[in-house]
Amino acid sequence: MFKKLNILDEKDKTLRKISKEATFPISEKEKDLVDQIIKELTYSQIEEYAEKYDLRPGTGLAFPQLGILKRIIVIVDEYEPGKFNNYVVVNPNIVSYSEEMIAADVGEGCLSVNREVDGHVPRHARVTVTGFDLDGNPLRIRAREELSIAFQHEIDHLDGILFYDRINKKKPFFTEYEIRLI
């Protein structure tokens, strides 16, 4: 039985709050929620399930988007058609990043933002993220390109930042000579 998550809309003030560090052990309820997030994000990227359950495609979700102000993010990355890597990071931190900046050519979207937002979001092409898995074991993840964008986007949610906050209002679009568009 599949039940859709209740994802907060951008108008909800909870999304603008800073999340608190998660403490261990992570509760069974929160672990079950992580499983539910992974399932929904995976289904959202598989066309037949996305249509069947009326899901918008999504790669990541942060706990604040569900009204839980804890520093936990989930990313489901389709690295080749039908094959996914799941990243669950508790208390993530970006510990290093490239100077090279990129932006998603078509712009970014968000499961909490139910409208089109025009503009490029400058992001680091590569990041190294540390944190913990659900059992409290240390993690170190090196992410590049789209996956790097996803980590930066989800970690922003933990600090009350939405992707469009990072769009330059005076210059919302870049040329490929100004920033590498992917």
**pLDDT tens-digit readout, 112-166:** 999 999 999 999 999 999 999 999 999 999 999 999 999 999 999 999 999 999 9
pTM: 0.96
Helix (H, G, I), strand (E, B) or coil at 86: strand
Domain region containing 145: 13-181
Residue 3 domain-assigned?
no
Residue 62 domain-assigned?
yes
Number of domains in the chain: 1
Residue 8 domain-assigned?
no
Q: Is the pLDDT of residue 2 over 90?
A: no
In the chain, alpha helices (H)? 28-44, 47-52, 145-158
Residue 78 domain-assigned?
yes
Q: 170: which DSSP letter? A: S
Give 111's contacts (C-beta < 8 A, 6+ positions apart).
7, 56, 58, 61, 65
Residue 1 domain-assigned?
no
Residue 49 domain-assigned?
yes
* Active-site residue set: 154
Residue 34 domain-assigned?
yes
Residue 57 domain-assigned?
yes
CATH number at residue 26: 3.90.45.10
* C-alpha dihedral sign at 40, 161, 119, 144: negative
